[in-house]
A and B are shown apart, each in its own frame.
Chain A
């Protein structure tokens, strides 16, 4: 006897514990198997790009904080880089080094949340998540030291920084970089070789190399598929060409590879921070920049390797105090495009896992 069955539609989100914000997936299920999935977003749209057209160039920096709110510093970095290229502003040496240190710290903080949330999606009930929050807290303390803020830092300025780092920052940073490898080792001991995690994550949600390139994925998602592409090496900005570090890549492009790549990137970021701490020169941290910047007529696209991938700012200037157009190339949104192909045929539990392994922030997806 065969029973008649029919697929049903399940709304995962926008209010769901594991949709990392207000993302919604309309999944068509056959029992537990996902037949089709339709990502729906826009619940967090704030019109950042349009707002930017009404603000001065400096006034846009707080807006960029609110894009990827788990990595505010790198957003500031990318935007400042774009304006500096547009207006031809140079940045003092010391400021470049501080930027690199802070961007790499931010990468560690963002990856800690990404990996923690991914393991939480696997069902490891908050233990890895809270362990990783413990270390993120230390990074946030460092950021509070320099900027006075704990989430939306608004620290970088066009042409450098508003203020130099305080005297106690570098010793505190040295202490952190000494401790952190031990903590990463601790997370690895907890779950990296765990049998259940390997069953759950290995071979699940494979993003083939060709598809990853074709959808212009970037960041750990691309590198996990085996593509050695890191803008810090491929198109060096700031002073990244002076540091030695490796680009960790995966082989298969499954959830497990993405997780491994992120953990490895944390180690590489620590390497960069250590080198930058040794080489950091003294001097001013801000170049002479007019109060209202009027870049010459033209356009610019500046991109950096943000924790989630290639974060780019495309600015068009009409020689006024506000940009004529400000477009953000958000890595979260573009990495999401492979979602349907990665999820089809897997089960509901895997869908959550795959979604967690892409690591998106809704603030960046809906601008």
Chain B
């Protein structure tokens, strides 16, 4: 299978290791992986700000960059949801581009659900000795049905014990530009989330979306809590030694 990686703008800027972890996992699953150079962002900031024209222009660029691959995979439920769910809505009134959007939507995936549901991956070779808890990022959970897949693969990581997070399906307060536009409300939401995470007694919190992880890690640090935050792909790919936890000193 020829798979194109949608790196996502946050992984590109903040945490390239997540991108390399995704490549490694996809290759382990038997895929040949390309990273189209012509990609930037999925356009979600424009789309969710009501700027349809810019969102469409960026989406058309994504159509070009990812044409011809069997699948498009992103280490983010939010960006994958943009391709899979929102591009067809964005072009609903555009008969010329709607079929292209629908065709792309049908072969676009969030990384971990792609590994499990499409590639049939059931276990990984990694090990990591931590008690972890898992936050279900909203778009992956509710737009794409990502829930059991990461837990299934994490259960195969040697040394990992999973403590379920109460309210794992409740938003952490990131919400893209929301956390900047309404910082006080966002703060309350991530404060509640941090308290829930701490109450599990876990050493580490994992999730499949870097935006949520930056938010949760930033709050946990501000509160002085010693809880690691990492993207699930880093753990599944066995790359935790290559990079410190999100926000930790190098």
Do the two chains belong together in a single complex? no
Q: Identify the B interface with A (CB < 8 A).
A: none
